[in-house]
Amino acid sequence: MKPSPFEFLRPATLAEALEALAGNPHAKVLAGGQSLIPLLSMRLAAPEMLVDINGLDELAYVRASTDGVRVGALARHAEVQADADAERVQPLLAQALALVAHPTIRNRGTTVGSIVHADASAEMPVVLSLLSGSLTVASAASTRTIPASELYAGPMESTLQQGEIATEAFFPALAPGAGVAFDEIARRHGDYALCGVAAVVTVDDARKVESVRCGYLSVCEVPTVLDLSEVFASGAVGDAALAAAGELALGSLEPEADIHASADYRAQLVRVLTARVVRAAYDDAVDRSDRRVR
Amino acid sequence: MTTDVTAQPTVKLVGTEVRRVEDDRLVRGQGQYADDVLRGALEMAVLRSPHAHARILDIDVSGVLDVAGVHAVYTYDDLTGAMAEPLPLLIPHAALTHGRTQYALAKDEVNHVGEAIAVVVADNRYLAEDAVARISVDYEFLTPVVGIPAARAAEHQVHADVPGNVAARLEQNVGDAEAAIATAPHRLALDLDIERSASMPMEGRGVVARWDTDARRLQVWTSTQTSTGVRAAVAAKLGLDLVQVDVITPDVGGGFGVKIMHPWPEELLVPMAARALGQPVRFTEDRREHFISSAHERAQQHHVEVGFDDEGRLLGLSVEFWHDNGAYTPYGLIVPIITSTQLLGPYKPQSYKVVFESLYTNTVIVTPYRGAGRPQGVFVMERTMDAIAAYLGLDRTVVRENNFIRPDEFPYDHGLTFQDGRALVYDSGDFPESLRKLKELVDWDGFERVRAEARAEGRKVGIGIGCYVEGTGVGPYEGAHIHVETSGKVKVAVGLTSQGQGHQTAFAQIAADELGVRFEDVEVVAGDTRRMPYGVGTFASRAAVMSGSAVALTARMVRAKALRIAAEALGASADDLEIVDGVIRVVGDPAKSIALGTVAVLSNPLRYAFDEASKAATQFSVGDPGKPPVAEDDEPGLEARDFYSPMRATFANGMHAVIVETDPDTAEIKILKYALVHDCGTIINPMIVTGQIHGGVAQGVGGALYERMAYDENGQLLNASFMDFLMPYATEVPESIEMDHLETPSPLNPLGIKGVGEAGLIPTSAAVASAIEDAEGFPITAMPISPSELFALRLAHASKGTTDEDRR
Amino acid sequence: MTEVTNEQAYEVRLRVNGVAYDVTVPARRLLSDALRHDLGLTGTHVGCEHGVCGACTVLVDGRPMRSCLMLAVSAGDYEITTVEGLTNADGSLSPVQQAFKECHGLQCGFCTPGFLTTITAGIAENPDPTREEAREMVSGNLCRCTGYQNIVEAVCVAAKLARGAEVAP
């Protein structure tokens, strides 16, 4: 279980990194490496070159402002999770990050890296998708911004092009009247979830539900976001509506079976977790609205 | 409670919580595991079969030696002499009519994913893996046989010359069980399954060898549970004299059974390469290799028929089961024999029939994993007890009590043959008392109140129980060598090996007590054939019983000799002497004394003095000129070697109870309380015993709720990583384990010890299944069980209309 | 096929337990292997090489990380602490090491170094953990021997010892 040989470059600037990537179609970017290095060791990936961006200090930032949180490519999960400003602007970030693997992995792994890795079992791609965030990617030629809705092409496949480096993820701020929640069920604490659901619920001044959106991980081949507002048309979050939300979600999801869970069981978790997070996100929205009024 | 061994030297150490002498080194990172010794050795990597069943048509190794840093590549064609013959069948048995073993490197065919085909030796493991990737093999694919149903159906065969895939069939009978069942007032039939799991120590296998070209000796360090076994195997396979081979067991990062299997192909190929290349060579197994090329256990399917009276007493019990032995049978029939005998537990059915078939599949070999067939047997028996209780509407503990062997019935002869070829005779125990203690510990009688409270909150809880009897300390023997240095330091060597059980501490406690020396003056070495060439190995909860007894017997010999010499030196009778803190003195006259180290000097008459102490033993200083310096029946030195070889095993026992909560929505299963009572006879070190049980329970919980080997129909292991083979973390084990002890000393050995190493996990799956069944109200017949499976069972039973209320 | 005869070597200065080591390694050398084989610091153990078991955990600028999930060539920026570096300056056992010994927090000792490094950082961050927090602190490390009961206990005892050590002169 040792990696195949590869060339190694540790650029001092982003431009240098992009140039190296442009020059070798079989080069890969190394950031936290918490997903990449196991793949190398198992020889499931054998890039010709690794471009180690850990020296690019300019990408090691978490910036929270009123419109949202900007996370640089070298910000470690633990740093994003611990950032009080980021948590205030978009509380879903810290909630989700607490469920990413174990603290030791979060100390090294990067949030942007996890988003680019495009694992449908991971938390952060779903968070970015649910929040309608975006990813800034740079290449030697240009820089572009990919909306989360256009980021995932298939299992473990993003729409980044060869030669591009993701430099920043943008998570929009929590809107007034909105609340969030994240919950997942894993076999062991810290494992990839069998099913995870994140929710954003918005309420009006009368505390009636305006909109309900949920993001699903480990259910389908790609992170999936659904608008479940229609079953809450009455504005209330009752048991019947919550049950209907799960069923509505299942209408658009095709839960898969693996060695840990049958498709039926995953469907059950979709029902249970949808109800749980929508209720929790609704309570959060009401709570925040109440606090804003006070 | 810590025993301060310096302040209270005369206090007996056996029975006290002496802190481990192993730990100082280990917590400093100064352990020496197989991968840590002989830094800079060449490293071996193995080409393993990617296919479960195939014929090998051609192996092309051209180009491998061109890689810089590669020293050698070997395939079957390079093996000669005994190395070219199949690996040993370690434990033959008359019923094993179709035993098969693999070759060190595959010859003509492969029978499981992971079977070794070729090895490369290179400067380091990275280069060795690069070179392995350059070997190409042509295969002709054969249909794999995966799982017990496929093996039984036998539409395809694993081995062309083994019809029906049946390696062995063994039947034992006590009375006429079938007749007793047919005429019994009540009858039940059950089908009960256990899936595959594995020992999975944190350190995989590892072996390092150095051939000394000058001394023509081979030294082998291997992560094993039997250094003497490996030594014999290496010598035989490499054509060396036994005295040319030393096997040294370094620190071993856990065994749990898998490392009693030997010799692994690499344990032979590494020494072979080291001798051929004249350089040290190492193989360190990686985690993926450990999953696909070491050993698994547990997979069995059982059919039970039972006849019983109105009190639930077993009138006739008939068990038929099918054991998945994997691709080969190097370890014989030990696991299914243990299941077939130990499933009886603390009970005495009036008649018993058991028959099993051991079946080949195209999967990793099966050898004992902690518990070794007992978890399956206990699961079968305890599920049967619960089924009888449910059928009769009796409390589950009442049915068990009605079947217990009573305390006055020991020794109790079951009329069966155990795994050591000896009669299955229980030596001691008090099962009613154990049950009483357990019920109190877990508040069994108060549980209906707990259930009602939970129900009122919309929660589902259940309580379960599992009882076991475990044959521990099987023979044939273990030995000890004890040598008292002239400094008074005591050097103890035992033949078996240690994998974390604290033998260095526990055996030093025994030696210190027996000899009357200070604990810190005793040093114990295990598993080094240079120090103790005779031994069997560490398995079947036998180390404390076997080597502990051998240390006690040997220490008594050394003590007798020391007293004899001291009596002569002090002009006293040996009967009047005592040894305290390493000083021999006349009882009541402590001024008349001699240090044990001085006795060691006197024990060895010398011609030459080499220090002040030894002057006292030279020829002009001591000795009766009328006698030979060493008497006819004596030998020089204050040392002894003795062996303990019991007539048969000693039987430990215990009972576990568990309370679980099952989530009504997600079917997640949480253990709320875990309580157990165990009886391992005399306890040497309660701290170590408790630690063994903690670890066993955690492993048992893993086996009940998390761990399984998931093979697909092609024989590919789908979860060959710690990502997907779900060993519990701290967050998955019970938050506390409540424990009570019962000590019924074994009459079979000098200290009254029974083994405890496997106790923690043997009844865990049975108890957890019992609790889940109690919470859910429908039978749990297969373990392990995941939330996904529990959810499926709920759906199935909901559609059948069986509910909680129907059963109560 | 990959040509492996001319694999490029890279020079890196690793700072481990306060000592600087200049090593020349191929890019693919895992930090765990560099520590063990190039530096001879074999206290860091390798249990899975895919980041799950935690046996190889070392402190990187004081924070626990998996050394099997880092390349040696990427590690030159940091102060690394391995189990060998946990003992006090006078050679005595650190509070965490002491607690493991006292509480019987280890059996075979193979996973132990990863627990010791993880807990050392853990109690620095949370000097007075509850039992639940103690459990959480070690929840990314696998142990096959102890059933974790005594390890969780050792976390609490270590924290207590460390707090005591701070007030001592």
Domains of chain B: 34-38+200-293 (3.30.365.10), 300-474+647-807 (3.30.365.10), 476-644 (3.30.365.10)
C42 Cα to chain B: minimum distance (Å): 6
Q: If you search the block for the tokens 């840093």, which residue do you land on?
A: B69
What pairing do the DSSP bridges indicate for beta strands B737-741 and B669-679?
parallel
Chain B neighbors of A261, CB-CB under 8 A: 786-788
Which residue is listed with tokens 């400094």? Answer: B487
Query: Which of A6, A54, A190 lies closest to C27 in CB terms?
Result: A6
C9-85 is classed CATH 3.40.710.10: no
pLDDT, mean of residues B345-351:
97
- Select the residue of B288, B726, B788 nearest A188 (Cβ to Cβ): B726
How far is Cα B476 from Cα B479, in angstroms, rounded to an integer?
11
Q: What is the pLDDT of residues A54-102, one digit of tens each?
A: 999 999 999 999 999 999 999 999 999 999 999 999 999 999 999 999 9
Answer yes or no: is pLDDT of B7 > 90: no
Strands B314-326 and B70-74: unpaired
Which sequence spans correspond to the domains of chain C?
Answer: 9-85, 95-167
Residues 28-47 of chain B whose Cβ lies under 8 A from any Cβ of chain C: 28-33, 35-36, 39
CA C127 to chain centre: 18
Closest CA to A12 of A53, A50, A49: A53
- For the segment B542-554, what is each residue's pLDDT rounded down to a tens digit? 999 999 999 999 9
Nearest to B231 by CA among B223, B242, B216: B242
Residue type, B61: V
The kind and range of the H/E element at B658 are: strand B650-662
- Are A2 and B126 within 8 A, CB to CB? yes
The DSSP call for residue B546 is H
**pLDDT score at B802:** 53
Q: Which of A43, A119, A187 to mutate to test the interface with B (most CBs of B within 10 A)?
A: A187
Residue C168 pLDDT greater than 60, yes or no: no
Any CB–CB contact under 8 A between B287 and chain C?
yes
* Residues in a beta bridge with B585: B578, B593
pLDDT band at C166 (very low <50, low <70, confident <90, very high): low
Measured between CA atoms, the residue of chain B closest to residue C102 is B19
- Kindly report the nearest CA distance between residue C27 and chain A, in angstroms: 6
pLDDT(B118) > 50: yes
Tell me, yes or no, if C135 comes closer than 8 A to chain B by beta carbon: yes
Average pLDDT over residues B262-287: 98
User: According to the CATH classification, is domain C95-167 in 1.10.510.10?
Assistant: no
Report the distance separating Cα B304 and Cα B383, nearest Å.
Answer: 10
Mean pLDDT value of segment B513-522: 97
Q: Span B695-720, mean pLDDT? A: 97
Average pLDDT over residues B234-239: 98
| Contact at CB, A104 and C140, closer than 8 angstroms | yes
As a whole number of angstroms, the distance between CA A174 and CA A171 comes to 9
Average pLDDT score over residue span B460-465:
98
B614 pLDDT tier (thresholds 50, 70, 90):
confident
Q: Is 50 exceeded by the pLDDT of residue C78?
A: yes
Q: Indicate yes or no: CB of A52 within 8 angstroms of CB of C73.
A: yes
**Percentage of chain B lying above the pLDDT 70 cut:** 98
**A187–B706 C-beta distance less than 8 A:** yes
Nearest CA in chain A to C2: A5
Tens of pLDDT, residue by residue over A17-31, are 999 999 999 999 999
Mean pLDDT of chain B: 95
Model pLDDT, residue C3? 44
Position B612 scores a pLDDT of 80
Tens of pLDDT, residue by residue over C31-59, are: 999 999 999 999 999 999 999 999 999 99
What distance in Å separates residue C31's CA from the closest CA in chain A?
11
Chain A CB within 8 Å of residue B799 CB: no
Judged against a pLDDT cut of 60, whether residue A283 lies above it is answered with yes
Distance from CA of A194 to the nearest CA of B (A): 10
Select from B69, B71, B75 the least CA-distant residue to B49.
Answer: B75
Q: Which pLDDT band holds residue B6 (cuts at 50, 70, 90)?
A: very low
Question: So what's the pLDDT on residue B619?
Answer: 76
pLDDT at B44 over 60: yes
Q: Write the DSSP symbol of residue B404.
A: B
**CA torsion through residues B69, B71, B75, B77, sign:** positive
Write out chain A residues lying below 8 Å of C70, CB-based.
33, 37, 108
Which chain A residues are closer than 8 Å to C140 by Cβ? Answer: 101-105, 190
In the sheet with B639-644, reading across from the earlier edge strand, the strands are: B522-526, B490-494, B478-484, B639-644
Predicted confidence at residue B605, as pLDDT, reads 87
Residue C104 to residue B126, Cβ atoms within 8 A: no
Q: What number is the average pLDDT over the span B385-413? A: 97
For B552-569, b where at least 16 C-beta lie within 10 A, e where not — what string?
Answer: bbbbbbbbebbbebbbeb
Q: What pLDDT score does B632 carry?
A: 86
Q: Which of residues 28-87 of A touch C (CB under 8 A)?
A: 30, 33-34, 37-38, 40-42, 46, 50, 52, 54-55, 78
Least confident range from B213-227, B600-614, C66-80: namely B600-614
What is the reported pLDDT for B2?
A: 38
Domains and CATH numbers, chain A: 1-174 (3.30.465.10), 178-293 (3.30.390.50)
Q: CA B699, CA B693: separation in Å to the nearest integer?
A: 10
Region B720-742: mean pLDDT is 96
- Residue B265 has a pLDDT of 98
Q: What is the pLDDT of residue A28?
A: 96
What pLDDT, on the 0 to 100 scale, is given for residue A19?
95
Q: Which chain B residues are closer than 8 Å to A1 by Cβ? A: 129, 286-289
Return the pLDDT at C5: 57
In this prediction, residue B5 carries a pLDDT of 38
Tell me: pLDDT of B516 over 70. yes
The nearest CA of chain A is from the CA of C160 a distance in Å of 22
Q: How far apart are CA B31 and CA B36, in angstroms?
A: 8
The confidence band for B628, taking pLDDT boundaries of 50, 70 and 90, is confident
Among the partner residues B129, B287, B791, nearest to A265 by beta-carbon distance:
B791
Contact A37 C139 (CB under 8 A): no
Q: Which residue of C has its CA nearest to A42?
A: C50
Q: Does B691 contact chain A (CB < 8 Å)?
A: no
| B631 — pLDDT class (breaks 50, 70, 90) | confident
ipTM of the complex: 0.96
What's the pLDDT at B8? 39
Q: Using the CB atoms, write b or e for B607-631: b if 16+ within 10 Å.
A: eeeeeebeeebbeeeeeeeeeebee
Q: Mean pLDDT, to the nearest integer, of A108-131?
A: 97
Cross-chain residue pair B788–A260, CB shorter than 8 Å: yes
| Residue B711 confidence (pLDDT) above 50 | yes
Give the span between the Cα atoms of B212 and B209, in whole angstroms.
10
Cβ separation C66–A50 shorter than 8 A: no
pLDDT in tens, B119-131: 999 999 999 999 9
Instruction: Give the neighbours of chain A: at least 3 Cβ pairs within 8 Å.
Output: B, C
* Interface residue B719 vs chain C (CB under 8 A): no
